[in-house]
Structure 1
Amino acid sequence: MMGSADRFTLAERVGIGATAEVIRGFDQERRVPVAIKRLHEHLAVDPITRERFQREARLSARITSEHVVGYVDTGIDAEDRPYLALEWLEGEDLAHRMRASGARLGTADALRITRQAALGLFALHEAGIVHRDVKPGNLFLAEQGEGAPFLVKLLDLGVAHDSASENVDGVALGTPFYMSPEQARGDTEIGPRSDLFSLGVLLYELLSGKKPFAGEDAFSVLAKIVLQAPPRLSDVWPDAPPALDALVARALARDPDARFSSAREMAHALAAIERVVLEGAAPPADITLPPALVPSDDHLVGVIFGRLPLSSNVGRTRALFQRIAEQHGGVVIPLLGRGVAVVFEGECADGLLRAADAALDLVKQVTGVRLSLVTGGALPPGSGLSASVIERGTRSLERPRADANEPPVRIDDATAHLLEEQYAIEGAPGSLSIRGTRGRGLTNP
């Protein structure tokens, strides 16, 4: 039915996704079951989707590792639908295991899973491939026979980046909760250390039962990944072994250069922690924990969160937005899609006041932009923002409009209290906005 000489026969469908279905098949040549991933019929006629699928097959064929699902064959079936034959795995993916037993797994399983996943990522990285979608659903816990421990295998190279070829335009870059800061900013260059950040997110979740970056919507999650000072494992697991706390902190560093230099180095570090935590070995002598971060009551940071308007030229709109914000001394940080944030730091409340002026200027010159403005205590330079500032800013931005005439610069109640003497504030508590400045003539954006 499929391939040359009808090598594969099909049985039941065992999974279905946005672009393809997975069918249990049988390899007549090797006399073993296989998993047949086949492009949906309605997508098989789209040349872009078809090329993406075939590109995934080409990448899979380049990898030989016990920690990456094995490639068998690829081709076009009798219905002109591309297919990819992979080794058949018995077991379950990690997402299913986490749903069944709770997000928090035992320390032994959490370390074993992430160590083996790191080895699989190392095989990909050595071949010039960045996975870009490391998440529970793409890690499979393969059964190895009665009494044998499971073997972790990476799945799905559908959005992987191949350094030896051009990217396919329009490919999504992963799953928000597990994205690296580089992905959440929409950077064009995504390197291997991005996968290590995603694996660090997964390890944090397996050990604590909580995601390190959570929010009410995708925008707030992306903003936290890019802007928030990375949370410590010990913040949610006070009894976390210091060596494990330090390992997770290194994996979650916002600066890629501060993470592990390679997936192999991370795998070795995880193996060492396994010996410390599970076997009572002496901890490494060079444990370095990041300092505790306390917001300053004396210095405030002002932050604008925004969504750029729908436009046929988002790049031009983003450039105009950046130019205006930088004229007021703001540091502009792009977020994936049409999102943007601007951070204003300064002595006392100077950063907040410049942020307010910038927001009013932006809504006058960038037609259709939607903004929120919040403030909070500044963290040490380069550390990022507190989760509270990001949560208040994204919540204000996403709240429904109070009425059609509501000013487009939204603020939360705490920020309004600090600005009310110099700026005209409108609305009721919980739905406040800035109309303009006092004493210099009110603006009417």
Structure 2
Amino acid sequence: MTGGRLIAGRYELTEPLGKGAMGQVWGGRDLGLGGRHIAVKLMHSGQMASLSGTADLEELRRRFERECQVTARIDHPGLVTVYDAGRDDDELFLVMQRVEGSDLGDHLAEHEHYPWQWSAAVAAQMCAALVAVHAVPVIHRDLKPGNAIVRPDGRVIILDLGIAAVASVGDTTRLTRTGALIGTPVYMAPEQAIGDSPVGPAADLYALGVLLYELLTGRLPFEAPEASGLLYKKLHELPVPVRHISPEVPEALATLVARLLDKEPTARPADAYEVYSLLAPLLPRPYDQAHSQPSLPTDPTRPFREPMAPWPVPRGVAPPPVTASGFGPPPVIDLPGTLEEVRGLLAAGRYTQVADLLGRALPAAVAEHGDPSPVVRTLRKQFAATLVDTAQYARALPEIRRLIQDLTAERGPYDPVVTQLRQDESLCLRHLSG
């Protein structure tokens, strides 16, 4: 598919933003509202049917539209706003607010020392949104770093309620059948992975616990090369305590993470509101001069420190990076600034310039940080994706293979990112051999 396609006579697709098992996400413009920037998720009916166990595609489409109506009723600043939903030939589409920022995985990679205060602020913001989601009641079912965006002003936005299971019983029905493994195994609660009963809000709290553990320690609580081995560890082993890895983390925060990761749903906190109340004492207070610090782009503590304040950093001015001891000298490669420039070029459809910019930045980042650095990996991922999107398969292939090698060694061959990279590798080989 190429940019320029028109959906429902008004939504123009301009550039790909991402893809996964459920479909593709495109950036676009709403021509009916003066070209407002939007994100459009396209899901093929056949793929949805295979995941839902529904043979009747017409019934599947009706159920999809009903669920979109339910999720669209959730009004919270920590959630993406849903504008429209419908069908276009064999594809279902969801039109959403386009959110600029870094996904949580990239945000962690961009800041090699991730302060525990940031981790608590991210989790608290996500809890506030989950309270609204669970009140509908809806279960997200797929909380993970790729489904959360940290905006430049520090606000955290949860994405992808499109595969959420509607828990109410009135005029709505579940799109995903009981037992379907909808979600990402690494972040999936044990009861959700087993799939022998409907999941509840406690499954989202478990995923939040995995996210919080990862932010605090830089690693996952459980890892295994296969999903079955991962599930066994979740059911029969305990993760390394947070403070054994990161001793600077407050005891209260480490204890909360352990409760969120409990194997038994009933042993976890009662709801997202309770989790927020436990995080609240660890959050900065508004305008507390004793703990004030310069505002940084994507600092998730800022909404608590300076609520409703305008963003103070002029566009194009890169602030100093966060280091273990506070603020350090500017790096040779300003990763947030580079990624911001990349996003602007992508929005303008200037893909060749994106590839050139990343091609220059990557060697300099390798020289400064070394190949294993998260900074280098973030740039390499964006560089490879841009080369694939611009059909530069010969240049993309070595970057993809390097990522596959590194990520397979760290996460195992069945990690969803590795799986996607394998698909991109196959795409490149097909084009190069043809």
Bucket of the pairwise TM-score, normalised by the shorter protein: 0.5 to 0.7
Asked if 1:179 is matched to 2:179, the reply is no
Please point out which of 104, 114, 125 is paired with 1:105.
114
* In structure 2, distance between residues paired with 1:52 and 1:171: 16
Aligned equivalent of 2:23: 20
* 1:291-330 Cα shifts (integer Å, max 9, x gaps): xxxxxxxxxxxxxxxxxxxxxxxxxxxxxxxxxxxxxxxx
- Aligned residues of 1:25 and 1:35 also touching (Cα < 8 A): yes
Aligned equivalent of 2:218: 209
1:139 positional shift? 0.8
SS of equivalent to 2:15: strand
* Number of residues of Structure 1 aligned to a counterpart in Structure 2: 270
* 1:230-270 Cα shifts (integer Å, max 9, x gaps): 54212322343212222212222222222221112212221
Aligned equivalent of 1:91: 101
Specify every segment of 5 or more residues in structure 1 that has no aligned partner in the other structure, as ranges: 144-148, 281-445
Asked if 1:38 is matched to 2:19, the reply is no
1:122 positional shift? 1.0
Q: 1:207 is aligned with what amino acid?
A: L
1:52 positional shift? 6.7
Specify every segment of 5 or more residues in structure 2 that has no aligned partner in the other structure, as ranges: 1-5, 50-54, 292-434
Q: 1:130 is aligned with what amino acid?
A: I
CA, structure 1 residues 176+44, in 2 after alignment: closer, same or farther (shift >3 Å)?
A: closer
Aligned equivalent of 2:10: 7
1:43 positional shift? 4.7
* In structure 2, distance between residues paired with 1:240 and 1:109: 11
SS of equivalent to 2:258: helix
- Aligned residues of 2:22 and 2:48 also touching (Cα < 8 A): no
1:83 positional shift? 1.1
RMSD: 2.7
* In structure 2, distance between residues paired with 1:67 and 1:209: 24
Please point out which of 226, 230, 240 is paired with 1:221.
230
Map 1:161-176 to 2 at 5 A.
Answer: 161-165=165-169, 166-167=173-174, 168-169=176-177, 171-176=180-185
SS of equivalent to 2:76: coil
Counting aligned pairs with the same residue, the percent is 35
* 1:100-148 Cα shifts (integer Å, max 9, x gaps): 445x6221221111111111111110011011111111111123xxxxx
Aligned equivalent of 1:65: 76
Aligned equivalent of 1:270: 279
- Aligned residues of 1:43 and 1:50 also touching (Cα < 8 A): no
- Aligned residues of 1:21 and 1:40 also touching (Cα < 8 A): no
* Greater relative contact order, per chain length (Cα 8 Å cut-off, separation 6+): 2
* In structure 1, distance between residues paired with 2:39 and 2:252: 40
- Aligned residues of 1:52 and 1:158 also touching (Cα < 8 A): no
Aligned equivalent of 2:365: none
1:49 positional shift? 6.4
SS of equivalent to 1:63: coil
CA, structure 1 residues 266+30, in 2 after alignment: closer, same or farther (shift >3 Å)?
A: farther
CA, structure 1 residues 217+101, in 2 after alignment: closer, same or farther (shift >3 Å)?
A: farther
- Aligned residues of 1:184 and 1:222 also touching (Cα < 8 A): yes
Structure 1 window deviating more from structure 2 (54-63 vs 174-183): it is 54-63
Structure with the largest fraction of helix: 2
* In structure 1, distance between residues paired with 2:180 and 2:40: 22
SS of equivalent to 1:24: strand
SS of equivalent to 1:133: coil
- Aligned residues of 1:185 and 1:226 also touching (Cα < 8 A): no
Q: 2:214 is aligned with what amino acid?
A: E
Aligned equivalent of 1:135: 144
Q: 1:23 is aligned with what amino acid?
A: W
* In structure 2, distance between residues paired with 1:37 and 1:99: 26
Aligned equivalent of 2:91: 81
Aligned equivalent of 1:325: none
- Aligned residues of 2:180 and 2:195 also touching (Cα < 8 A): no
1:189 positional shift? 2.4
Return the index of the structure with the highest Cα Rg: 1
Please point out which of 246, 262, 286 is paired with 1:237.
246
Map 1:351-366 to 2 at 5 A.
Answer: none
- Aligned residues of 2:214 and 2:221 also touching (Cα < 8 A): yes
* 1:86-105 Cα shifts (integer Å, max 9, x gaps): 00111121122234445x62
- Aligned residues of 2:134 and 2:201 also touching (Cα < 8 A): yes
* In structure 2, distance between residues paired with 1:215 and 1:155: 26
CA, structure 1 residues 44+225, in 2 after alignment: closer, same or farther (shift >3 Å)?
A: closer
CA, structure 1 residues 178+57, in 2 after alignment: closer, same or farther (shift >3 Å)?
A: same
